[in-house]
Amino acid sequence: MPEGPEIHRAADEIAGAIVGERAQIVQFGLERLRPWETELTGACITGVEAHGKAILTRFDVGVAVYSHNQLYGKWYIRKAGLYPKTGRSLRMEIRGPQKSALLYSASEIEILRPEDESSHAYLAKLGPDALDFAVEEADIVARLGDPRFRGRALGGLLLDQGFVSGLGNYLRSEILWWAGLHPGWRPKELTDVERAQLAHWILDVTRQSYETGGLTDCLQRVAAAKAQGVPRRLYRHAAFARDGRGCPECGRTIEKIEVGSRRLYLCKECQPVRV
């Protein structure tokens, strides 16, 4: 599933293609949404916003199209009237005069009026977005002390969109590795310094991934690996999907475990179990 950085980058690309344009065609691949095609065709696209792992595409007729990629959704930007070669199902097309934004394979698409957004099942539960640059480390430290979150193991907490939105599976492994924390630890068991460090890495790792197109390892190591011709999949992350390879810091073999039915990668030397 795409995580916050990928969704925010997609929103940026969609916005660059169609915001400020008048929709020449709006089509939906879901029968329940087709009554909206006539109203949205001809409307002006006024904004495209990422909220956690969802996107709101706003129109000047007073509604927004909510979409969540879930596991298989994928956005494409193409010249107006052209389509990618793919076996995916087209779920939404917003065609401007020059370019089209095309959403394939997603089924979680809704039309929302402004008054619906605050009570929407997904949007209403979102915590602060790690890619909202108004969010500061102190805000995350406060979340870690909140009674709703302070007693939960970090391995599960970092996937809870109500804690901090936009985090996902690869970010979870990377944040915990950079913070030197085992996924079984709980915020209430951490020192003030450890909580501050965790808050720092939650924002830093997520924002670097957004700014670099998915790189979460040290950028100096990335540059050295690229210069040596190392494939991107081997230098993109510090811990995630690196099982069987050495930890970038201590050299111990990175291990893969399962937490919350999802894979997590860690170094048991750098991220020891709390005694």
- Is 188 part of a structural domain of the chain? yes
Local confidence band at 275 (pLDDT 50, 70, 90 cut-offs): low
Q: At what angle are helices 192-212 and 169-179 packed, to 10 degrees?
A: 130
- Is 271 part of a structural domain of the chain? no
Based on the fold, state whether residues 201 and 156 are members of the same structural domain: yes
- Is 274 part of a structural domain of the chain? no
- Is 131 part of a structural domain of the chain? no
Tell me, what's the pLDDT at 175? 98
**pTM, full prediction:** 0.94
Based on the fold, state whether residues 259 and 172 are members of the same structural domain: yes
Based on the fold, state whether residues 94 and 116 are members of the same structural domain: yes
The CATH number covering residue 206 comes to: 1.10.8.50
Based on the fold, state whether residues 116 and 187 are members of the same structural domain: no
Tell me, what's the pLDDT at 154? 98
End of a domain among 93, 125, 157? 125
Amino acid at 261: S
Based on the fold, state whether residues 121 and 152 are members of the same structural domain: no
End of a domain among 125, 149, 171? 125
| Percentage of the chain lying above the pLDDT 90 cut | 96
Based on the fold, state whether residues 155 and 104 are members of the same structural domain: no
Based on the fold, state whether residues 101 and 166 are members of the same structural domain: no
- Is 130 part of a structural domain of the chain? no
What pLDDT, in 10s, does the model give residues 167-219? 999 999 999 999 999 999 999 999 999 999 999 999 999 999 999 999 999 99
Based on the fold, state whether residues 8 and 118 are members of the same structural domain: yes
Tell me, what's the pLDDT at 260? 87
Task: Give the list of residues 6+ apart from residue 168 with CB closer than 8 angstroms, or none.
Answer: 1, 2, 3, 4, 53, 159
Based on the fold, state whether residues 170 and 250 are members of the same structural domain: yes
End of a domain among 125, 155, 172? 125
Tell me, what's the pLDDT at 2? 84
For residue 90, what are the CA distances in angstroms to 27, 108, 256, 264?
A: 9, 13, 35, 32
Tell me, what's the pLDDT at 274? 77
Query: Residue 32, class by beta-carbon neighbours within 10 Å (0-12 exposed, 13-18 middle, 19+ buried)?
Result: exposed
- Residues acting as catalytic residues: 2-3, 53, 262
Domain count within the chain: 2
- Is 273 part of a structural domain of the chain? no
Based on the fold, state whether residues 121 and 151 are members of the same structural domain: no
Could you tell me the residue range of the domain that residue 186 belongs to?
137-266
Q: In the predicted model, what is the mean pLDDT of the chain?
A: 96
What pLDDT, in 10s, does the model give residues 124-181? 999 999 999 999 999 999 999 999 999 999 999 999 999 999 999 999 999 999 999 9
Residue 107 has pLDDT above 90, yes or no: no
Based on the fold, state whether residues 179 and 219 are members of the same structural domain: yes
- Is 245 part of a structural domain of the chain? yes
For 143, half-sphere exposure in the C-beta direction (CA atoms, 13 angstrom radius) is 24
Based on the fold, state whether residues 142 and 115 are members of the same structural domain: no
**2 vs 51, which has greater pLDDT?**
51
- Is 159 part of a structural domain of the chain? yes
The CATH number covering residue 83 comes to: 3.20.190.10
